[in-house]
Amino acid sequence: MQSFPCPFCGPRPEPEFLFVTEMGKTRPEPAAEVSAPVWAAYLHDVKNIKGEVAEVWQHLPCGQLYLMRRDTTTMAVLGVQSFRKGGAA
C-alpha cells in the first residue's frame, strides 16, 4: 500500500485516493465537430508510460484534485501540486 501526499491533507494511505486521468488530456468540444477517432482517443487512449508520469489524482476525503508526478517503475512520488488558484503546492 502506497502513501501519497495530498497537497491539502499531507501523507495519507493509498485507499483514500482515486486515480482520475493522465495529465494533459483536454476534452474535445463541441461534440458536433469532434471526429470519432479523436473522441475515441480521448475516451480510451492511455499512454501507460513506464517511468516518470504526471497524473491527476483525487484525495477522496477532501475531494480535491491535484497533480501528482511519480515514477511507475520505482513507485516513488516525485511531487504534487494543487490545481487551486494560489493553492497549496
Partner 1 sequence: MNFTFDGMDLTGRPGDTIAAALLRAQMRIVNRSFKYHRPRGLWGAWVEEPNAILDVTLNGVRTPNCRATTTPLAAGMAIESVNTALTARRDPLAVLDRFARFIPAAFYYKTFLWPSWHLFEPTIRKMAGLGRMDGTQDFVPAAPQRHETAELLVIGAGPAGLEAALAAARAGLDVVLVDDRDTPGGSLIDRAEHLEGQSPADWAAAMISAFRAAGGRYLPATTAFGAYDHGLFLLAQRRDHPAAPALIRLRADRAILATGAIERPLTFVDNDRPGILSLHAGQAYLNRHGVLAGQRIAILSTGDAQTAATQFRAAGAAVEVIEAGEGRAEVEAVHWFARHLRGLTLTDGRRIDCDTILASGGWTPAVHLHCQTGGKLDWREDIQAFVPRADRPQILTIGAAAGTFATDDARSDALIAARGDRPALRAQDPVRKAWPQLGQSRRAWVDFQNDVTVKDVELAGRENMRAVEHLKRYTTLGMANDQGKISNMPGLATMAAIRQVPIPEIGTTTFRPPFDPVSLATLAGPKREALFAPPKRLVLEPLHRAAGALMREYGGWLRPAVYTDVEAEVSAARDHVTLFDGSPLGKIDVYGPDAARFMDFIYYNTMGNLKPGRARYGFLLTEGGIVFDDGILFRLSEYHFSVSCSSSHVDQVANLLDLWRQDQFDPDRVFIQDATPHWATLTLAGPKARALMARLDFGIPLDDAAMPHLSVVQKDGMRIARVSFTGDCSYEISVPARAAAALWQRIVTTGRDFGLALQGVEALAILRMEKGLIFVGKDTDGTTMPHDLGFAAPREKKQVEFVGKRSLFTETASRPDRLQLVGLACQGAPLPVGGHATAPGQPASQGYVTSAAHSPTLGKPIALALIAGGLGRMGEEVEVYHLGQRRRATICPGCFVDPEWERLNA
Q: How far is the CB of 34 from partner 1 (least distance, A)?
A: 5
Helix or strand or coil: residue 70? strand
Q: How far is the CB of 47 from partner 1 (least distance, A)?
A: 18
Q: How far is the CB of 4 from partner 1 (least distance, A)?
A: 8
CA dihedral for 67, 55, 11, 50, sign (positive or negative): negative
Name the residue nearer to partner 1 (CB basis): 9 or 77. 77
C-alpha cell at 26: 483536454
CA–CA dist 80, 9 (Å, integer): 12
Name the residue nearer to partner 1 (CB basis): 37 or 47. 37
Q: Which residues bind partner 1 (CB under 8 A)?
A: 1-3, 14, 18, 20, 27-31, 34, 36, 39, 43, 58, 60, 63-65, 75, 77, 83-85
Helix or strand or coil: residue 33? helix
CB atoms within 10 A of CB 41: 13
Name the residue nearer to partner 1 (CB basis): 2 or 52. 2
